[in-house]
Chains A and B, each alone.
Chain A
Amino acid sequence: MKLAIKLAFRNLIGAGLRTWLNVIVLSFSFVVIIWIKGVLAGWDLQAKNDMTNWEIAGGQYWHEDYDPFDPFTFTDSHAPVPPEFAEEIAAGDMEPYLVIQGSVYPQGRLQHVTIKGISPEQTLFMLPTGRLDTVMVDAIPAVIGTLMGKSLKMGTGDRVVLQWRDANGTFDAAELLIVDMFNVSVPAVDAGQIYIPLEKLREMTGMQNEATLFSFRDSEKERPDMNGWVHKSKEELTKQVDDLIKVKTGGTSVLYGILLLLAMLAIFDTQVLSIFRRQKEIGTYVALGYTRKQVVGLFTTEGAMYAVLAALLSAAYGMPFLLWQAKAGWTMPIDTSEFGMAIAQTLYPVYSAGLVAGTTVLVLVVTTIVSYWPSRKIAKMNPTDALRGKIQ
């Protein structure tokens, strides 16, 4: 094997341009596959981090009737805060949300919104709730996301009429003042959402000391379902992202499958040509004492070595590129805010050792198989014909 590697290396280096063309194509596949996979891994990480930082923290408890995808459930999905949560809430490790449906009337239009009451002092999320801690007599302070702002055609300092129903079903209305806006890549936190002080919402609805859901900081703690409250783990809440990444991974696999196929075609072509063009050489190896099997091994090693050289070349130019990408990120050419999924405008690829090693092994194995396939023909060659370079 050592000899085959030595000879294969000599043959490849000696073949010059032909070798380097194959190696360049293959190394391009290497870098692109790692980059695409890195972008997806980065997206996954970013989406989960953003969801954690802006929406779910370490996990949640939902009122048993609450369904975030069905606003009609909001009317009944509230109940007094269970005494078991009091300690964590007091310590700032758990935050209650009260969620109700409402409507706003920007520029005379009607738009349905979800009103979320949240404590202005909360430290669990990155939401700028501190600005809600404002005493106002003529309006309710509110913060909204930029996506919501765009939808309402409103910005900080603008006012709008808010209508809601209290616990008894009675309609009420008041003016809302946008005190701050935030930019987030998690649509569920932004689109259609208005955040106002929790106590204010409780007062507006007559739902004193009530909540719809709770987010908590500590995801490690054992948390059973409680009477009327369903525990939702972080994994459960981010499953949607995992599923989305899985679908994306499947889709991009097609892309790098094509890239790999192109590189493999180049290698396959080279191998087939080699076997025709290097018949005399094959005969010479046999005359000098190689078995035909060993010649097959030599040609296969040569093919596999394309992957090794490509890996080295990829490391030379790909590593700086990939590291730069990890730092600078990849900014998507189109506005992602209305994609309806947790995707930032700039994605920062994340490369794990497993990703690099896995890609290297995959390319090496595929290249070896592709190299072995045409090389098998050598085993059927008559050495005396091969020595004379007779096409067989």
Chain B
Amino acid sequence: MENGHIIEIEKLVKKFPMGKGEFIALNGIDLILDKGEFAGLVGPSGSGKTTLLNIVGTLDVPSVGKAVVLGRSVGNLTAKEAARLRKENLGFIFQSYNLLVVHTVFENVEFPLLLLKYSSQERKKMVMDALEWVGLTDKVKQKPPQLSGGECQRVAIARAMVKRPSLVLADEPTANLDAANSHNILKTMETLNRELKTTFLFATHDDKVISYLRRKIFLADGRIEKEERTDD
């Protein structure tokens, strides 16, 4: 982290056992991501983008090579340390929202703060701030089944952002949304990126998302094919 890099990946290989052999999902990835980037892993299904996102999110470990996230080497973290890193510094946004269905909107967004042991007053303020960012302050008492897909994803964004993480990982965040909702969501995330300087890393093959990315990392067959940067 001393060098300002949020993510440093070097010669990363990820293999999965498959029958008697193995499947290579990532094959020699080198990648550096700096603070405040709005970047995306772009590629078709099976290109390895979700696998890479999972490793960066400390939900998986590299088979070979090095992945350093926020100064911590993912391969060397214990389960407890990885959980702590996720709890304190990482936010996740999933394709199918992954909201806790029996909890209200407020409780869903409050969840990461409960893990961080904020006081009740602090939690209330932070949750309401996060819901204001995504425009859902009027839905605090509703539960996910009562919300539209777009609203659910906005709750997921609020949940990812409420603790002001250093890095937000978004896996196909617009895959279940229509065009209007997708643009809304992306604009919200872009605004949060600019205002809070939170680093965003997407995994996507959706053109709408790609059009918002300032850095596109194209993956194919587990390798980085090319990169494109767009100026602010």
The answer to the question of B173 belonging to the interface, with a C-beta cut-off of 8 Å to chain A, is no
- Contact flag A286-B59 (CB < 8 Å), given A3-B115, A10-B103, A387-B94: yes
Query: Which A residues are in CB contact (< 8 Å) with B212?
Result: none
Q: Are A289 and B96 within 8 A (Cβ)?
A: no
Distance in angstroms from B28 CB to nearest chain A CB is 21
Q: Are B98 and A11 within 8 A (Cβ)?
A: no
The answer to the question of B222 belonging to the interface, with a C-beta cut-off of 8 Å to chain A, is no
Chain-A contact segment, one of B63-71, B80-88, B134-142, B200-208:
B80-88
Query: Which A residues are in CB contact (< 8 Å) with B57?
Result: 287
Query: Which A residues are in CB contact (< 8 Å) with B111?
Result: 288
Interface size class of B (residues with CB under 8 A): 20 to 34
> How would residues 50 to 63 of chain B score, 1 for a CB under 8 Å from any chain A CB and 0 otherwise?
00001001011000
Q: Are B79 and A284 within 8 A (Cβ)?
A: no
Residue of B nearest to A16 (CB): B102
- Contact flag A288-B102 (CB < 8 Å), given A3-B114, A384-B54, A384-B60: no
Q: Are B59 and A10 within 8 A (Cβ)?
A: no
> How would residues 18 to 51 of chain A score, 1 for a CB under 8 Å from any chain B CB and 0 otherwise?
0000000000000000000000000000000000
The answer to the question of A383 belonging to the interface, with a C-beta cut-off of 8 Å to chain B, is yes
Residue with the highest number of chain B CB atoms closer than 10 Å, among A288, A294, A383: A288
Query: Which A residues are in CB contact (< 8 Å) with B99?
Result: 284
- Contact flag A280-B96 (CB < 8 Å), given A287-B86, A289-B112, A384-B59: yes
Q: Are A287 and B84 within 8 A (Cβ)?
A: no
Query: Which B residues are in CB contact (< 8 Å) with A199?
Result: none
The answer to the question of A317 belonging to the interface, with a C-beta cut-off of 8 Å to chain B, is no
Total A-B Cβ pairs within 8 A: 67
The answer to the question of B100 belonging to the interface, with a C-beta cut-off of 8 Å to chain A, is yes
Distance in angstroms from A24 CB to nearest chain B CB is 19
- Contact flag A289-B98 (CB < 8 Å), given A3-B114, A6-B114, A384-B59: no
The answer to the question of B218 belonging to the interface, with a C-beta cut-off of 8 Å to chain A, is no
Distance in angstroms from A329 CB to nearest chain B CB is 44
Q: Pick the contact of B102: A6, A15, A290 (CB < 8 A).
A: A15
- Contact flag A288-B112 (CB < 8 Å), given A280-B98, A384-B60, A387-B98: yes
Residue of A nearest to B85 (CB): A289
The answer to the question of A291 belonging to the interface, with a C-beta cut-off of 8 Å to chain B, is yes
The answer to the question of B8 belonging to the interface, with a C-beta cut-off of 8 Å to chain A, is no
- Contact flag A291-B80 (CB < 8 Å), given A10-B103, A384-B54: yes
The answer to the question of B151 belonging to the interface, with a C-beta cut-off of 8 Å to chain A, is no
> How would residues 108 to 143 of chain B score, 1 for a CB under 8 Å from any chain A CB and 0 otherwise?
000110110000000000000000000000000001
Residue of A nearest to B81 (CB): A291
Q: Which of A344-359 contact B (CB under 8 A)?
A: none
Q: Are B98 and A286 within 8 A (Cβ)?
A: no
Q: Are B102 and A289 within 8 A (Cβ)?
A: no
Interface size class of A (residues with CB under 8 A): 20 to 34
A179 to B57, CA, bound (A): 95
A15 to B102, CA, bound (A): 6
Interface majority SS (helix, strand, loop, mixed), chain A: helix
A344 to B159, CA, bound (A): 65
Residue of A nearest to B111 (CB): A288
Residue of B nearest to A3 (CB): B114
Residue of B nearest to A386 (CB): B59
A3 to B103, CA, bound (A): 14
Distance in angstroms from A162 CB to nearest chain B CB is 80
The answer to the question of B92 belonging to the interface, with a C-beta cut-off of 8 Å to chain A, is yes
The answer to the question of A281 belonging to the interface, with a C-beta cut-off of 8 Å to chain B, is yes
Q: Are B59 and A14 within 8 A (Cβ)?
A: no
Query: Which B residues are in CB contact (< 8 Å) with A59?
Result: none
Query: Which B residues are in CB contact (< 8 Å) with A287?
Result: 57, 59, 86, 92, 94, 98
A387 to B93, CA, bound (A): 11
Q: Are A288 and B87 within 8 A (Cβ)?
A: yes
Residue of A nearest to B92 (CB): A287
A283 to B98, CA, bound (A): 9
Q: Are A289 and B88 within 8 A (Cβ)?
A: yes
A330 to B15, CA, bound (A): 70
- Contact flag A288-B107 (CB < 8 Å), given A6-B114, A280-B98: no
A15 to B145, CA, bound (A): 13
Q: Pick the contact of A290: B107, B115, B143 (CB < 8 A).
A: B115
Q: Pick the contact of B103: A14, A280, A283 (CB < 8 A).
A: A14
A289 to B116, CA, bound (A): 9
Distance in angstroms from A182 CB to nearest chain B CB is 64
A39 to B212, CA, bound (A): 74
A283 to B86, CA, bound (A): 13
The answer to the question of A63 belonging to the interface, with a C-beta cut-off of 8 Å to chain B, is no
Residue of B nearest to A382 (CB): B60
Query: Which B residues are in CB contact (< 8 Å) with A286?
Result: 59, 83, 86
The answer to the question of A78 belonging to the interface, with a C-beta cut-off of 8 Å to chain B, is no
Residue of B nearest to A13 (CB): B102
Q: Are B102 and A284 within 8 A (Cβ)?
A: no
List chain B positions with a Cβ less than 8 A from chain A. 54, 57, 59-60, 79-80, 83-84, 86-88, 92, 94, 96, 98-103, 107, 111-112, 114-115, 143, 159
Can you identify 28 A-B contacts, CB atoms within 8 angstroms?
Answer: A3-B115, A10-B103, A11-B100, A13-B102, A15-B102, A280-B98, A281-B100, A281-B101, A284-B92, A286-B59, A286-B83, A286-B86, A287-B59, A287-B86, A288-B86, A288-B87, A288-B112, A289-B84, A289-B86, A289-B88, A289-B112, A289-B115, A291-B79, A291-B80, A294-B83, A383-B60, A384-B59, A384-B60
Q: Can you name 7 extra interface pairs (CB under 8 A) apart from A284-B99, A289-B88, A383-B60?
A: A14-B101, A284-B92, A287-B59, A287-B98, A288-B111, A288-B112, A294-B83
